[in-house]
Amino acid sequence: MKLSDLKTSQQVIDERRKDPAFRAEWDRTAFARDVALRIVKYREDNGLTQTALARMVGMTQSVIARLESGDQPPSIATLAKLSKGTGMSFDIKITHGAVEFITA
């Protein structure tokens, strides 16, 4: 198989989302994935290790690693710590049991 024959990650996700069980789990973890991506981007943009970021925000490296895994949504208190220690902004909307970021 040639590299050009491989599907993109988005194509694979789009195909998998046709499965109701996958779609439910994908939707359940959307907020946690968004937070994870923001944390990873912040660390990359600022040349920080997980340990260095953890020290900045008063957490442990293992907490940062769990946040970056995107498996479980962070608490409001965790988002507040991240915001206070980094200046990151987390504008969220909670509607009908779903949590999402508000984008400007």
The answer to whether position 2 is within a domain reads no
pLDDT band at 103; cut points 50, 70, 90: low
The answer to whether position 87 is within a domain reads yes
The answer to whether position 1 is within a domain reads no
The answer to whether position 3 is within a domain reads no
Expressed as residue numbers, the domain containing 50 is 8-101
> Which of 3-7, 18-22, 58-62, 70-74 is least confident?
3-7
Q: What is d(CA 68, CA 33) in angstroms, rounded to the nearest whole number? A: 8
Look up the pTM and report it: 0.80
Total domains, the chain: 1
Outline where 8-75 has alpha helix (H). Answer: 9-16, 20-28, 30-45, 50-57, 61-69
Q: What is the CATH number of the domain that holds 30?
A: 1.10.260.40
Average pLDDT, the chain: 91
Over residues 88-104, the mean pLDDT reads: 83
